[in-house]
Structure 1
């Protein structure tokens, strides 16, 4: 440990440069768009400091520009996280070929996050695709249990996993109320649930939303 500290004391500028470069490369491996931008921004800041110490001003300018671009995208993405205008909820039939394609394409990832999902939307269930422009970012499947919509699938593609696009199904309470639902209950098997941040209440390992609440679903933080 002492040798490492001595080396860092003598070569801290080199360590700064290598650390920034390593973080830059690591950021490029990220599938999540917001995480990629954030890590890339941090790496750019480190490399700005490194190149400024060495007086390599063209590289300082380059990293300053890329950092500004990353910051702009981060602010834009964070504004869109809970913006209903950025995402569209599309109801699809259970035998819809595109729904089947999405479920098949992401079958392995879906099983990791919601291992009890059957892999198909089954009779008695309803399916919704969440889209951003022409890109599918999530799928929600609910099953009718009287006036309760039981969540069987609430899946987000890896690129948008820092977002919660499923919330736009719950926020549009008219979408579910018009079908006779009065309550939404999530599956206790969903990995890393986000529902407590958008107006659901915890009941054991599940989360519950009453659709008759006058204010609807609150936007998360």
Structure 2
């Protein structure tokens, strides 16, 4: 009986940890998913120990999470790319300054050079909000080296990335680009790169990744 009770407590603690962890998520989608897992686990715990108010409350929270996850899945977002031609553009400079601490978590070496003329600078707009920033520079053989590929924390659900990388865009058609190249040693960034279709670029050495500009 003691072992059974201990298992019940463990289930309760798991639910508690998941709910607490969900509150620290930046992404609304991740928050809902983890909160759903935690609330469902805690509802099950409430049922096991006959704590019916706990069961009812967390069942309700689970239902709310499911409702919003379905709604988020069904929502249609409008995406657009907006190119900037000057690296000293005031909004660009302010955007980079505002998110600098978060940017360096994924691109530790990134520094915006205000008078760099060969930058290709593109804001990713989501429902007319600038949620992402892509900066690259031309390299040999009609390729682009990515200097920055950043999305603000609230919108890291990969929708912006899929729009950017999995569609043909006139900007890159005009540049006649073949491959994107990027260097990274940041584990979270490498995980992201693999999710959007990058593979190791063995010809450039360790830490380099590439993918075709046009999605196939």
TM over 0.5: yes
Question: 5+ unaligned residues in a row in structure 1: which ranges?
Answer: 1-5
Contact 1:20 1:46 in 2 (8 A): yes
TM superposition score normalised by structure 1? 0.75
Contact 1:138-1:155 at 8 Å conserved across structures = yes
Q: 1:129 aligns with which of 123, 128, 143?
A: 123
Verify: 1:207 aligned to 2:209, yes or no: yes
- What CA distance in whole angstroms lies between the structure 1 residues aligned with 2:135 and 2:23? 32
Q: CA deviation at 1:9?
A: 4.2
Match of 1:113 among 106, 110, 114: 106
Alignment of 1:44-193 (within 5 A): 44-77=39-72, 85-93=77-85, 94-120=87-113, 122-145=116-139, 147-163=142-158, 165-189=160-184, 191=186, 192-193=189-190
Unaligned residue ranges in structure 2 (runs of 5+): none
Contact persistence 2:143–2:181 (CA under 8 A): no
Do the aligned partners of residues 119 and 95 (structure 1) sit closer, same or farther apart at CA in structure 2, a change above 3 Å counting? closer
Q: Distance in 2 between matches of 1:149 and 1:136?
A: 22
Q: Secondary structure at the residue paired with 2:175? A: coil
C-alpha contact 1:137 1:160 (8 A) present in aligned 2: yes
Aligned length: 206
User: Separation in 2 of the partners of 1:19 and 1:129?
Assistant: 40
Specify the alignment match of 1:3 in structure 2: none
1:88/1:58 CA distance change after superposition, 3 Å:
farther
